[in-house]
Amino acid sequence: MTETRRLQLHLGKCIEDLDKLYNVPDLKTKRATLLCKTAQKLFEKAEEERDRGDEENSYVYYMKYLRVVAFISKDKEYLKDKTYFNNMLGAKNPNKAIDAAEKLKNSLIDRYEKEQKEKRLHDIKENELIKQKIDENRKKALESIPVYEQPQPLGLPGLDEVTIKSEQLYSILKSGKLKVMILDARPGDDYLESHINYPACISIPKECMSPGQSANALEQNLPAASKLVWGERATMELIVMLDWNSTAVIPGETLHLLKTILLKWDVKVHYARPPLALYGGYEDWLLKYPAFTTNPHAVPPSQDSMLDDMLGEIDYPNWSDLNPSPPPVQTTPPRPAKPGEPVIDRSSKVAAVQLYEERARNMQLILEEQERIADTSLTLEMQRIEAEQDWEKVREQREQEPRDELRAQYRLREHEILSQLMQLENKQFDMEQENQSLREQLEEYQKREREEAEKLVEALRKATDADTQAVEAAARRSAVEAAARELAARRARIADVRAQHRQLDRRREALEQQRKRKLADARRAAKPQVHTQHCQLDRRREALEQQRKCKLADARRAAKPQDDDGDTFMEPVEDSSENQGLNRSQSSPNIAKGWGEEEVPTFDRGTKPSKLAPVNDEPQRDFQPVWGDVGRGLTGLKNLGNTCYMNSIIQCLNNTAILVTYFCNKQYLEHVNRSHSTRGAIAEELAAVVRALWSGQYRFIAIKDLRNEVGKHQRAFRGNEQQDSHEFLTILMDWLHLDLQFSIKPPQKESLGAAERAWHEYTRCKESLVLRLFYGQMRSTVRCVRCGERSATYDSFSNLSLELPAAAARCTLQDCLNLYLNGETIPGWNCPKCKEKRDAVKKLDISRLPPVLVIHFKRFYVDPKEYMSNTYRKKQTYIDFPLENLDMSQFSLHCPGNPMYNLYAVSNHYGSMEGGHYTAYCKSSVYGKWYKYDDHVVTEIPATEVKSSAAYILFYTSCGRS
């Protein structure tokens, strides 16, 4: 019997599209007899469509039929006379429909997959000529780039250098063998006064540049004389930037801003090499080659700006600093009083006046501090509005630009500006909280001042005679009036700043309304074919990407065994007697060598493994790297669509020293557990990511393979929705522990205490490096209030999840720990001694401290006002936590090891549940500095910025064993 010819697919592109079509209307009002007739018609229609060869319609009708049958089977009439209704339906029809629907479903799934493959192959063939043209253009561009493997005779710096000395630049300019452009980034007036006497030296005024600016926007603001030379920048073999006296390209400064504009936001130009900064700036050139300038008598800029920068780095004064102890006052003994005359100590008058003057100075300091914070807050508000306007411009440009590469650039920039906007809002919130704290201190101070003033007036009234009282009262009134005028002026200044704040708020609201109106108008005016073009471009890009992957896989399979596979790893630590702790022994893994049962591993965060050559036995991974010579461990992670929560946690783990060594030296391969549900794949993918991040050769990478592997085992992490970084961390820790398990020799339980016995019962002689690093133990003790009977249980934890004090704008980490560990009353506890239900007190204590202590703050909570809708809100509480020397001894029992911890990473959350963003602050053990990991952007930050109200998860490392 020949197979019926199958009609072409027409209802959908996947089986899920058909699942949306077989819903049936509400059947509750229909009688069972009518429903049986309807079901019979659906069955006949399904059979007819199958015979006709339309598998899609047949599958939909079969599923509708089964839905109706399922509803009939629950009907009261059917239950009374099943035989009658089964005869109406047909005794064998339901089973036949189930078998037919299952076969059709499998057939359709295969056909959909085959059609998708054929479509991709068709698109690949259709775009082959375009791809070849692109490859040819790229090849020509790469061939035109000069390769500088060794320092050239002209004195050109190596590719890893970011500066060029005046002697080298002079030699290059004198030889004339290279096309050089000099970009003078000083203020325009300074350039006109004096600059390097070279035709291609142009002015890029400092005042014309701003963060987030594109090269095209910068060109519009350049002087007319500079635009002509600027347009030839693509043909230059060397570009040199200079300011007055910089010796490095520092983030946040003018040269770094100009370099960012050239390399990141000049999408139409491919530079032969990154621009170099002139070491020492124009000041060094003027000193060494005055004859090669237009004016050798130029005057350096004033030092006012430098003084302002120094003043800006002054830390806020502590309250204790504002109340110094007054110096001792020399007193004279009181003269003897006449009989019946009260004794008066006139020395108290001097002390009281001095105290009043001291308090007046303290109040003035507080007002000055409050005024400074108001100015800073106003600046942040203005920066926030500028960022919003910048974001709006970029968004409009992205929507108007159909080309793939530029759209991707604009999308990336839009993401950066949104992240910057959230962080500015958070900083402004922190400043407002600090200002509120100072305001409360000032009110408290003024209250005490009034009380002291009343006491002072009373003391002076009793201590002075009529003449001196008048003189001193006049002086006092004069001082009070002067202080009042000063206070009034400062309060007026603060009020003015607040008024400007309100104006900026109104301006931002107006801009937001205008932006929404423009967006709505643009969407209404958009033509349908624009969406079609976008879809076509997306399909074309996916086809090209699939073709690239196939070619790359074929090339790698054809490579010789000794060829590199593209991954870069770390050199293993030399095999010596001092580094045998991670080798396998004959009986069991030797990770625990040198660690007692009560001990924890020690590691030096000051050391990191260095690079080693890649090997070729690794599976190929699609990191989509963007190349760039950055520091080890300073590689960013691309946002794959709301994956900032994952990027933040991975960067924090990537700065855990012993875990990095374990992955980079591939010692984890000895412990990969294939029997777990993840088959060790999570650990292997994370290890590959860590090695790539520590290669130092990528600006940023994409972790698509790790994300896909995680999504296989946890549906929530599969899509593009924002997720909770704490939830991801907790699940990841459990996966890694199970992926890297090894067996240990069971201990003698008779010799163990209760805590150790509970620990070994939990591990069941299955441990891992992740368990020994991150997992601790908590003891829960319940005590009967009546008889004092106690019952203790033990639980493990990979992080401490702490509640925040209710209605507190500011608190400390110690407050949160006390709230977590304090006892709570439990009613109705079954006391084993009293044999009755009693009130009891439950108390938590840490019985085992891990080497890496992870602390999570519960910032998200269900709004009580919207409990039924399950609406979550976020607490913006500012938490003061120590960067060094966190003492956990007061919060734990007598645990082995050193209870002192140092902070090395923070996972931050900005925004709200509706729209948020995650970043990470991590301290590099290689460079000893703090860095901000904002998805693909990694920048250095001062330690003073680590504490903020965005802190969500803290990572502390033990200072070492005592």
d(CA 787, CA 766): 39
Residue keyed to tokens 């459990």: 734
DSSP structure string for 863-881: -GGGTTTT-EEE---EEE-
Which token pair is 789?
């009977």
The torsion angles phi and psi of 647, rounded to 5 degrees, stand at -60, -40
Identify the three-state secondary structure at position 186. Answer: coil
**Amino acid at site 512:** E
Q: Is 201 a catalytic residue?
A: no
Q: Which of 906, 904, 877 is nearest to 959 (CA)?
A: 904
Which token pair is 156?
């050109």
Break the chain down into helix, strand, coil percent, rounded to 5. Answer: 50, 15, 35
**Amino acid at site 944:** T
Cβ burial, residue 550 (10 Å; 0-12/13-18/19+):
exposed
CB 657 within 8 A of CB 694: no
Q: Which of 208, 256, 254, 253 is nearest to 230 (CA)?
A: 208
**Amino acid at site 187:** P
Catalytic residue among 36, 917, 922, 936: 917
d(CA 933, CA 922): 8
In sequence order, which residues have a C-beta less than 8 Å from that of residue 591 and are 6 or more positions away? 581, 582, 671, 742, 767, 769, 772
Q: Which of 250, 431, 433 is nearest to 940 (CA)?
A: 250
d(CA 73, CA 32): 9
CA distances (Å), 775 to each of 108, 600, 641, 796, in order?
A: 48, 11, 31, 7
Residue 861: CB atoms within 10 Å:
12
Which token pair is 610?
């260095």
d(CA 381, CA 370): 16
d(CA 13, CA 563): 41
Catalytic residue among 36, 644, 895, 922: 644
DSSP structure string for 279-297: TTHHHHHHHH-GGGBS-TT
Identify the three-state secondary structure at position 827. Answer: strand
Which token pair is 591?
């990770």
Would strands 611-612 and 569-570 be described as parallel, antiparallel, or unpaired? Answer: antiparallel
Identify the three-state secondary structure at position 721. Answer: coil
Q: Which of 423, 47, 407, 373 is nearest to 211 (CA)?
A: 423
Q: 298-311 b/e with 16+ CB inside 10 Å = b?
A: beebeeeeeeeeee
DSSP 8-state assignment for residue 621: -
Residue keyed to tokens 């936590």: 881
Q: Which of 899, 853, 855, 857 is nearest to 877 (CA)?
A: 857
d(CA 598, CA 757): 12
Q: Is 644 a catalytic residue?
A: yes
Which token pair is 700?
């940023």
Would strands 766-767 and 878-880 be described as parallel, antiparallel, or unpaired? Answer: unpaired
State the maximum Cα–Cα separation within the chain, in Å, rounded to a whole number. 140
Would strands 937-941 and 930-934 be described as parallel, antiparallel, or unpaired? Answer: antiparallel
Torsional class of 295: left (φ above 0), alpha (ψ -120 to 50), beta (otherwise)? beta
CB 86 within 8 A of CB 45: no
Q: Which of 167, 170, 205, 214 is nearest to 186 (CA)?
A: 205
Hey, which residues are catalytic here? 644, 917
